Chain A
């Protein structure tokens, strides 16, 4: 086992990106993710990479488009309002089938909101993140170790499926320090025969574009993209089950909400309540199968979120409304305390559902 180092989640993302072979970073500072840019500013010049503080978030995402078209691993990062600004670029990346890694260290909204942690960009991230029909692969780390691992995974998935992978973290994950092993396995970057790397007069021009004026052609490109999405939904959903073996109540939570939920689950277990958790590690594709399977075993589900209830819709879709799903939440930069979740668990244990 390699030596562990203490790092902030944001720094772990930056270092993992470098380990994954990313040599191009474009960003614009915003709390609570600025350490990513600061780390890149320090490291990139020393390893022959590019760090560029763009004039805006929109400029940064379009620089990502350019580097990606040239076949290189590239990333940008921001926080909620900044990611909203990038939505045009996210759609163009999708339309041009370009791989990229985008990090959103979420803060409370809407509007400029605040700078404290939030998970209220769930819809924005999982429903595409821009205009037109598209998806991003959305990874939801719940530890500094996962911040690092999912960054590598994100680059790999992005290249494999030619699309954007997003790390959907929050202010707590970005700011906290935990021991992390940076002994990360990186698979070699696939060939990118579509990249605009110069023809050397030996092949036809590659064209990277998202404009299709003939509707039949545009329709076909959408259909083909969604074929690819179907493969991803079948293969790439990731989740963790925690104490679900005999659970009669199931918590659904990701990221920091899952961390706090673990405390509450352990306290409830000590009271004799059989509760467990399914923690999605990918939010798109959503791990529907384990939720669907759990729906036949548990009498109630509780979605714990730092939002007004966004993931709860996917839980209800996955479980086909076979069990009652309640919401336990705080918003605006507030984080539920274990006691609040424990109270929701007790309530569900008392009243939840009508299953035997």
Chain B
């Protein structure tokens, strides 16, 4: 991996920014060059949220991801909007509980994960985002319990320390999804 550009997208409240933060912390702890840029515009005030995440070996130039290598789409409007932007040969992770249509692109690899359903079936209804992150790490061959836990510790504030276990469970679920 030289540089990987991620675009996380979905509804506000699905933990889009949190998922991105986790990826960035994980990259930073592994000594990578990273950046994280949220959408803060009108869309985030009740609509689609997105965040650009770059993890790589080179210093990050533009922090804005317009041609993602990896797209995470957690709702249909985001999938409709960003599917065309994925680089040819890129990868798409979508929440198939909330996105019923099939991908239009045939030049990208698509993983359809029923993340929202899996989350609610497993009693962690707010963690569909981390199930998808678990899947991403699994696919990229970057799932390591120790690294994942270290990054979670950084991104989960002390106030919410009780959420550690649930997040770990979501990530593990993702690896099998």
Residues of A within 8 A of B (CB): 4, 6, 31-32, 114-116, 171-172, 175-179, 256, 259-260, 262-263, 266, 333, 335, 337-338
User: Which residue of B has the minimal Cβ distance to A116?
Assistant: B41
User: Which residue of A has the minimal Cβ distance to B58?
Assistant: A266
Of A6, A260, A262, which contacts B64 at CB under 8 A?
A260
Residues of A within 8 A of B106 (CB): none
Q: Does B61 contact A (CB under 8 A)?
A: yes
Tell me if B's interface is mostly helix, strand, loop or mixed: mixed
User: Which residue of A has the minimal Cβ distance to B60?
Assistant: A178
A-B pairs with beta carbons under 8 Å apart, 19 shown? A6-B24, A6-B25, A6-B34, A6-B154, A32-B40, A115-B40, A115-B41, A175-B37, A176-B36, A178-B60, A259-B61, A259-B62, A259-B63, A260-B61, A260-B62, A260-B64, A263-B62, A337-B66, A338-B61
Q: Indicate if the CB atoms of B64 and A266 lie closer than 8 Å.
A: no
Query: Closest CB of chain A to B124's CB: distance in Å?
Result: 25
Besides A115-B41, A337-B64, 11 more A-B contacts (Cβ < 8 Å) are A4-B28, A6-B34, A6-B154, A31-B40, A116-B41, A175-B40, A176-B37, A259-B62, A266-B61, A333-B41, A335-B64
User: Which residue of B has the minimal Cβ distance to A115?
Assistant: B41
Residues of B within 8 A of A178 (CB): 34-36, 60, 63
Query: Closest CB of chain B to A112's CB: distance in Å?
Result: 13
User: Which residue of B has the minimal Cβ distance to A265?
Assistant: B61
| Most B-side CB within 10 Å, residue of A114, A177, A338 | A177
Query: Closest CB of chain A to B65's CB: distance in Å?
Result: 11
Q: Does B21 contact A (CB under 8 A)?
A: yes
Interface size class of B (residues with CB under 8 A): 10 to 19
Q: Indicate if the CB atoms of A172 and B64 lie closer than 8 Å.
A: yes
The CA of A335 and the CA of B41, in the complex, are separated in Å by 14
Tell me if A's interface is mostly helix, strand, loop or mixed: mixed
Query: Closest CB of chain A to B38's CB: distance in Å?
Result: 6
Q: Please report which residues of chain B, range 1-42, place their CB below 8 angstroms from some CB of chain A when the two chains form the complex.
A: 21, 24-25, 28, 34-38, 40-42
| Most A-side CB within 10 Å, residue of B21, B35, B41, B62 | B62
Q: Indicate if the CB atoms of B62 and A177 lie closer than 8 Å.
A: no
* Binary contact track B37-72/A, C-beta < 8 Å → 1, others 0: 110111000000000000000001111101000000
With A6-B24, A6-B25, A171-B40 in contact, is A177–B35 under 8 Å at CB?
Answer: yes
Residues of B within 8 A of A262 (CB): 61-62
| Most A-side CB within 10 Å, residue of B34, B41, B66, B154 | B41
